[in-house]
């Protein structure tokens, strides 16, 4: 006979101490850490544990005894279910303070190298409506909530939804009424497509058996007023033209309307034909130059091009990296993980030459196109695995850099890249990171030759736990 599992405990009157990893807050009970979402430091709560490990619990709040003075009322009706904004319940100034602490804790706990100070975090002027790109998913298995407006006589009218995946659930979609992440007309476009699909009886996708007609929509906005919409279908059908024509009539401001027929089981469209229905196959973005006398930069953004999703904070991030480098105009700069060359374009007019390296060939083609668009001629780009490309032969062929700009993915830099940086001995390394922990690890690995001189956190994603950090590393004399 199988042993009965002991019920997981209910932890009563736990004081929440801080905000921790992955947006969860932290309390302690009998020396064991408790992770719980949607809490604020200072809350006094009862927590029902749903996961028990030797050193920590995970749980959910079932009762509040005291509310933290750091709390604020969330704007979004979907807060607490949608995983997009995990910190809407905390006032923005407190979010920034915790992000500053996150950077400090990573440096002190992982890097363990001396530094003078961490400059105050650069918060966003927009705490909402700051993203220029969102992707929504169709599903015939939407999550039903207690306040679901479609419930009648105890049952829903339908199970169709268009919105975001619930955290940890690949097959459940939270039907979104209003999202506070992307500016108008993002919400109106999504709701119009959903309304049309429901009225016409179009099938929403079922990820469990890969059936249905409607799969995804992607909406991209830009500071120039351009607007791109991509609708993804599972199979070709005459209904595509009807739906897109309806969209054109309702939203004549769409400057780029495209669609994809994706018969695969995954949602990636980078390997699919993206068909133009109306307008241009791209939108234009502009960014101020780091020096006022220089012309503004223009970037052509295609359906799968990467561009920073918070463009206003992206300018401040790039300006910060530019200022840290203190260019004289004579530098050879290596721009590692250059993407579509936005940072390369940003600094090019202030240096002798920029060499960009990027893994994705399509991104490198975009980078070259962006240089032509801005009449920039002192750049060169190479595509391939960074750890394989950046070697002694590459440095011999392109010259030893005076400054290295590096903006790696969340995993940080490969050991081989670190070793090559130590061999190259560039005077300065400006390291931009979206993950302070892996950045701190890399700083420690570079410390045998480099001192940590400046540290500046930047908030690119308000209402979330994510933080960017820029550091200046100086070659030790």
C-alpha distances (whole Å) from 383 to each of 18, 227, 243 are 42, 29, 39
C-alpha distances (whole Å) from 216 to each of 170, 268, 354 are 14, 10, 38
Check residue 423 and give its pLDDT: 97
What one-character-per-residue DSSP string does 317-358 give?
A: HHHHHHHHHT--S--EEEEET-TTTHHHHHHHTTSSEEEEEE
122 and 139 assigned to the same domain? no
Spatial contact of 89 and 38, defined as CB atoms under 8 Å apart? yes
Domain that holds residue 385: 96-126+310-475
114 and 218 assigned to the same domain? no
**Of residues 266, 190, 281, 258, the one with CA closest to residue 234:** 266
Residue 80 in any domain: the answer is: no
CATH of the domain at 444: 3.40.50.150
pLDDT exceeds 80 at position 157:
no
Residue 78 in any domain: the answer is: no
- pTM of the entire predicted model: 0.92
Other C-beta atoms within 10 Å of 330: how many?
A: 9
- The domain boundary, picked from 244, 266, 283, lies at 283
Q: For residue 50, name the pLDDT band (cuts at 50, 70, 90).
A: very high
Q: For residue 374, name the pLDDT band (cuts at 50, 70, 90).
A: very high
Residue 38 in any domain: the answer is: yes
- Give the CA count within 13 Å in the CB-facing half-sphere of 44: 3
Phi, psi of 340 (to 5 degrees): -90, 15
Q: For residue 118, name the pLDDT band (cuts at 50, 70, 90).
A: very high
Spatial contact of 350 and 329, defined as CB atoms under 8 Å apart? yes
pLDDT exceeds 60 at position 335:
yes
Tokens of residue 32, six digits: 């064991």
Check residue 153 and give its pLDDT: 52
Q: What integer is the mean pLDDT of 387-398? A: 96
Answer left, alpha or beta for residue 279, where phi above 0 means left and psi between -120 and 50 means alpha: left
265 and 138 assigned to the same domain? yes
Q: For residue 237, name the pLDDT band (cuts at 50, 70, 90).
A: very high
Based on the number of CB atoms within 10 Å of its own CB, is 93 exposed (0-12), middle (13-18) or buried (19 or more)?
Answer: exposed
**Residues 6+ positions from 180 with CB-CB distance below 8 Å:** 75, 76, 85, 128, 129, 463
Question: Where do we find the tokens 């497509």?
Answer: 193
Residue 305 in any domain: the answer is: no
342 and 233 assigned to the same domain? no
Tokens of residue 58, six digits: 């995970």
- The domain boundary, picked from 71, 88, 110, lies at 71
Number of domains in the chain: 3
CATH of the domain at 270: 2.40.50.1070
318 and 384 assigned to the same domain? yes
Residue 302 in any domain: the answer is: no
Phi, psi of 302 (to 5 degrees): -85, 180
Residue 380 in any domain: the answer is: yes
66 and 112 assigned to the same domain? no
146 and 227 assigned to the same domain? yes
Q: Which helix (H) or strand (E) holds 313?
A: helix 311-325
SS3 label, residue 5: coil
CATH of the domain at 24: 2.40.50.140
Q: For residue 146, name the pLDDT band (cuts at 50, 70, 90).
A: low
**Residues 6+ positions from 370 with CB-CB distance below 8 Å:** 298, 299, 300, 340, 341, 342, 345
Between 455 and 143, residue with greater pLDDT: 455
Instruction: Give all strands of the β-sheet with 256-261 in edge-to-edge order.
Output: 173-175, 161-165, 133-139, 214-221, 227-233, 256-261, 274-279
Phi, psi of 261 (to 5 degrees): -105, 105
| Distance separating alpha carbons of residues 11 and 26, to the nearest angstrom | 13
345 and 424 assigned to the same domain? yes
pLDDT exceeds 60 at position 19:
yes
Check residue 449 and give its pLDDT: 98
| Distance separating alpha carbons of residues 110 and 152, to the nearest angstrom | 55
**Residues 6+ positions from 192 with CB-CB distance below 8 Å:** 246, 247, 250, 251
pLDDT digits (tens, 9 = 90+) for 245-292: 999 999 999 999 999 999 999 999 999 999 999 999 999 999 999 999
Residue 355 in any domain: the answer is: yes
Other C-beta atoms within 10 Å of 223: how many?
A: 13
Question: Where do we find the tokens 């002027």?
Answer: 125
Between 151 and 128, residue with greater pLDDT: 128
Tokens of residue 239, six digits: 């209904």
- The domain boundary, picked from 238, 266, 283, lies at 283
Phi, psi of 416 (to 5 degrees): -65, -35
Catalytic (active-site) positions: 434
118 and 153 assigned to the same domain? no
pLDDT exceeds 80 at position 370:
yes
Pairing of strands 44-52, 10-19: antiparallel
pLDDT exceeds 70 at position 2:
no
pLDDT digits (tens, 9 = 90+) for 196-229: 999 999 999 999 999 999 999 999 999 999 999 9
165 and 200 assigned to the same domain? yes
pLDDT digits (tens, 9 = 90+) for 341-350: 999 999 999 9
- Give the CA count within 13 Å in the CB-facing half-sphere of 119: 17
**Of residues 191, 215, 217, 193, the one with CA closest to residue 133:** 217
451 and 341 assigned to the same domain? yes
Residue 184 in any domain: the answer is: yes
104 and 167 assigned to the same domain? no
CA angle, corner 271, sides to 267 and 276, nearest 5?
90
């Amino acid at each position: 006979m199988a042993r009965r599992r002991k019920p997981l405990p209910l932890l009563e009157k736990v004081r929440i101490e801080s905000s921790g990893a992955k947006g969860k807050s932290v309390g302690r009970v009998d020396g064991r850490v408790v992770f719980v979402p949607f809490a604020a430091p200072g809350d006094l709560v009862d927590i029902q544990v749903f996961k028990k490990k030797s050193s920590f619990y995970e749980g959910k709040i079932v009762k509040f005894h005291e509310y933290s003075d750091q709390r604020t009322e969330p704007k979004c009706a979907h807060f607490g279910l949608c995983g997009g904004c995990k910190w809407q319940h905390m006032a923005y100034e407190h979010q920034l303070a915790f992000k500053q602490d996150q950077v400090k804790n990573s440096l002190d706990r992982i890097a363990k190298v001396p530094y003078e100070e961490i400059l105050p975090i650069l918060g966003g002027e927009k705490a909402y409506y700051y993203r220029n790109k969102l992707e929504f998913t169709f599903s015939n298995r939407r999550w039903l909530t207690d306040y679901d407006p479609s419930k009648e006589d105890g049952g829903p009218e339908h199970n169709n939804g268009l919105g975001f995946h619930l955290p940890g659930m690949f097959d459940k979609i939270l039907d979104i009424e209003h999202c506070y992440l992307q500016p108008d007309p993002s919400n109106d476009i999504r709701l119009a497509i959903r309304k049309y699909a429901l009225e016409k009886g179009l099938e929403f996708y079922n990820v469990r058996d890969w059936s249905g007609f409607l799969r995804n929509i992607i909406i991209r906005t830009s500071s120039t007023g351009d607007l791109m919409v991509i609708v993804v279908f599972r199979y070709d059908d005459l209904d595509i033209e009807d739906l897109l024509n309806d969209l054109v009539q309702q939203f004549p401001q769409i400057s780029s309307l495209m669609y994809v027929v994706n018969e695969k089981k995954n949602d990636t469209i980078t390997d699919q034909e993206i068909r133009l229905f109306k307008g241009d196959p791209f939108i234009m973005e502009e960014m101020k130059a780091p020096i006022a006398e220089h012309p503004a930069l223009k970037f052509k953004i295609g359906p799968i091009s990467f561009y920073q999703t918070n463009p206003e904070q992206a300018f401040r991030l790039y300006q910060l990296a530019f200022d840290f480098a203190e260019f004289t105009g004579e530098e050879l700069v290596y721009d590692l993980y250059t993407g579509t060359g936005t940072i390369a374009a940003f600094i090019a007019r202030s240096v002798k030459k920029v060499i960009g390296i990027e893994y994705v060939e399509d991104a490198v083609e975009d980078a070259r196109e962006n240089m032509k668009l801005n009449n920039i001629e002192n750049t060169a780009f190479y595509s391939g695995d960074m750890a394989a490309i950046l070697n002694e032969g590459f440095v011999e062929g392109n010259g030893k850099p005076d400054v290295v700009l590096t903006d790696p993915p969340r995993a940080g830099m490969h050991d081989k890249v670190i070793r090559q940086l130590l061999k190259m001995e560039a005077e300065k390394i400006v390291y931009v990171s979206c993950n302070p922990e892996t950045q701190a690890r890399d700083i420690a690995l570079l410390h045998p030759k480099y001192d940590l001189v400046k540290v500046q956190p930047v908030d690119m994603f308000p209402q979330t736990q994510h933080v960017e950090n820029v550091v200046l590393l100086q070659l030790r004399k």
